[in-house]
């Protein structure tokens, strides 16, 4: 099948998926088919580029030339199309990849599941549940298998949480490693651009194109010596649904069979990560949007509340949160001096219900926004890289996920560990039957 024919099929499927899951802000049909024709020419001339003809979708806070960047907000519904693509998108274009859609996202990536332009983005494993935020449409679309990867942003788990809820692989790179020029700003202390993919091998191919030209700090993806994985045992990490802990144990057991050593440890400092991250993100987001304060009345109530939280944060509290982030960085550094990665759940439960925004942990309903980011915040506030990947399913058939944290610029090693796991497991190969679920 030619790239052009394949892209026609992908665009057709994306339109159908959007009707069921509310995944796309805009399909990039004309531009995608023009690029597909060029990919066919490249392949015919035996000059194929690294990602030749691979379709991908883009969270709608990232500029793609000729398309609007709405940030999921009605206040930007009629904004002029971007004149040029974000730098990270340009890198993917040069490698032959083809953007096919701008994806649904929480308003300004702030986190509300009820996106003004689309409504909530449904989870392909269970359409009564949320895909997660704020890279909602990206994770849901990748999970369907219609595209091999997508590009999102991660401010406080915004790549990793939807990856976990939708059963795909999501990478939060080291802060500053992937360029953010052409990305709608939210919180400069934590925001990064990251890929989502069905499997770790595809994610690695995409990440190598996205990152800057500085070589990795790791000479080879997996060291020749035995891998050591640090596994925190504090109450905060054990307060998870049983299916989540079973998935984490499946990962550890699988890796131990291939010579990996697991070391039980503690990290009491993790308890303050979520609050510190919330204060930093809310304060910086309020600053980003303060020049548009006249428009705030048109934002969703959730967005307004988050921005008001930022406005009401004292300077001393913001500075204290930054100090806590540096203290936590020292803790992670010390742990990673003795281990190749830190292992923990990505989120404490599976995808929350759209109707009431509640997450289930061991048959108990808890408020999603109070619990979902307690683990992902560790890397958000410190800038360390992390990868989320599927490690099983709960009793309702919804994905559960595990997260690895690595030292700065050790993304390739994290990806290689997940590749090893996925070579001996099949959770990432299972596809959601979202048509039946609808």
Residue 189 catalytic? Answer: no
Tell me whether residue 347 is in a domain: yes
pLDDT the model gives residue 225: 73
Given 24, 39, 59, 388, the catalytic residue: 59
Q: What is the spatial distance between Cα 420 and Cα 305, in angstroms, rounded to a whole number?
A: 43
The residue with tokens 């983005």 is: 121
- Give the pLDDT of residue 26: 97
pLDDT of 304 strictly over 70: yes
- The answer to whether residue 323 sits within a structural domain is yes
Q: What is the pLDDT of residue 292?
A: 78
Domain annotation covers residue 314: yes
* Mean pLDDT, residues 161-186: 97
| H or E, element range at 310 | helix 301-312
Q: For residue 232, is pLDDT > 90?
A: yes
Is residue 213 pLDDT above 80, yes or no? no
Q: Which domain holds residue 130?
A: 3-430
Phi, psi of 227 (to 5 degrees): -75, 140
Q: Is residue 349 part of a domain?
A: yes
Task: Judge whether 288 lies within some domain.
Answer: yes
Query: Is 344 a member of any domain?
Result: yes
CB-CB contact of 86 with 181 (8 Å) = yes
Contacts of 362 (CB under 8 A, 6+ apart): 241, 242
Distance CA 242, CA 348 (A): 9
Task: Decide if 248 contacts 392 (C-beta within 8 A).
Answer: no
How many alpha carbons fall within 13 Å on the CB side of residue 248? 27
Give the model's confidence band at 224: pLDDT under 50 very low, under 70 low, under 90 confident, else very high: low
Residues 6+ apart with CB under 8 A from 73: 107, 108, 116, 117, 299, 303
pLDDT higher than 80, residue 220: no
Per-residue pLDDT at 217: 46
Answer yes or no: 158 catalytic. yes
Catalytic residue among 106, 135, 136, 158: 158
Average pLDDT taken over every residue of the chain: 95
Split into its structural domains, the chain has a count of 1
d(CA 124, CA 130): 9
Region 346-374: mean pLDDT is 97
Determine what percent of the chain is predicted with pLDDT higher than 70: 96
Residue 219: its pLDDT value, please? 44
SS3 24: strand
Segment (H or E) for 193: strand 192-197
Q: Are 3 and 12 in contact (CB under 8 A)?
A: no
Which segment of 57-66, 118-127, 190-199, 205-214 scores lowest on mean pLDDT?
205-214
- How far apart (Å, rounded) are the C-alpha atoms in residues 141 and 238? 31
Whether 438 is in a domain gets the answer no
Catalytic option among 134, 180, 285, 377? 134
CATH code, domain carrying 250: 3.90.1300.10
Locate 308 and state its tokens. 């008001």
| Residues whose CB is less than 8 angstroms from the CB of residue 209 and which lie 6 or more positions away in sequence, other chains included | 50, 51, 91, 92, 95, 97
Q: 256 falls in which pLDDT band (50, 70, 90)?
A: very high
Question: Per-residue b/e over 296-312, b at no fewer than 16 CB within 10 Å?
Answer: eeebbebbbebbebbee
Is residue 269 a part of any domain in this protein? yes
Cis ω for the linkage preceding 162 (within 30 of 0): no
Q: pTM of the entire structure?
A: 0.97
CA dist 167 and 131 (Å) reads: 10
- The angle at the Cα of 180, spanning 81 to 416, to the nearest 5 degrees, equals 120
Backbone angles phi, psi at 71, to 5 degrees: 60, 20
Asked if pLDDT for residue 65 goes beyond 60, the answer is: yes
């Amino acid at each position: 099948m030619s790239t052009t024919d394949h892209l026609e099929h992908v665009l057709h499927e994306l339109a159908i998926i959007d009707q069921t899951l509310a995944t796309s802000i805009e399909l990039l049909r004309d531009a995608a088919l023009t690029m597909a024709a060029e990919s066919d020419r490249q392949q015919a001339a035996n000059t194929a580029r690294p990602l030749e003809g691979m379709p991908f979708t883009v969270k709608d806070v990232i500029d793609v030339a000729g398309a609007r960047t709405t940030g999921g907000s009605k206040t930007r519904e009629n904004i002029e199309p971007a004149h040029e693509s974000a730098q990270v998108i340009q890198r993917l274009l040069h490698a032959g990849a083809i953007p096919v859609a701008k994806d649904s996202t929480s308003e300004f990536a702030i986190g509300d599941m009820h996106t003004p332009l689309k409504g909530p983005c449904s989870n392909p494993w269970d359409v009564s549940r949320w895909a997660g935020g704020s890279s909602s449409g990206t994770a849901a679309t990748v999970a369907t298998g219609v595209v091999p990867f997508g590009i999102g942003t991660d401010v406080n788990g915004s790549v990793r949480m939807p990856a976990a809820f939708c059963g795909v692989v999501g990478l939060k790179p080291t802060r500053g490693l992937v360029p953010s020029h052409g990305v709608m700003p939210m919180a400069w202390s934590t925001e990064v651009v990251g890929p989502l993919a069905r499997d770790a091998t595809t994610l690695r191919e995409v990440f190598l194109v996205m990152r800057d030209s500085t070589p990795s700090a790791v000479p080879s993806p997996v060291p020749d010596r035995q891998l050591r994985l640090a596994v925190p045992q504090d109450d905060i990490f054990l307060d998870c649904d049983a299916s989540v802990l079973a998935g984490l144990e499946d990962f550890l057991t699988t890796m131990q069979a291939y010579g990996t050593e697991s070391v039980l440890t503690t990290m009491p400092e993790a308890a303050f990560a979520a609050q510190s991250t919330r204060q930093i993100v809310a304060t910086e987001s309020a600053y980003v949007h303060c020049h548009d304060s006249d428009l705030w009345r048109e934002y969703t109530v959730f967005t307004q509340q988050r921005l008001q939280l930022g406005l009401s944060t004292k300077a001393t509290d913001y500075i204290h949160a930054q100090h806590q982030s540096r203290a936590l960085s020292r803790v992670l550094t010390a742990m990673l001096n003795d281990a190749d990665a830190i292992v923990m759940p990505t989120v404490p439960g599976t995808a929350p219900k759209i109707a009431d925004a509640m997450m289930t942990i061991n048959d108990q309903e808890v408020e999603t926004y109070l619990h979902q980011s307690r683990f992902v915040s560790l890397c958000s506030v410190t800038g360390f890289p992390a990868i989320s990947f599927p490690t099983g399913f709960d009793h309702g058939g919804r994905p559960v996920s595990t997260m690895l944290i690595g030292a700065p610029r050790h993304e390739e090693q994290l990806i290689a560990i997940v590749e090893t796991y996925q070579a001996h497991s099949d959770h990432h190969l299972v596809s959601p039957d979202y048509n039946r679920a609808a």
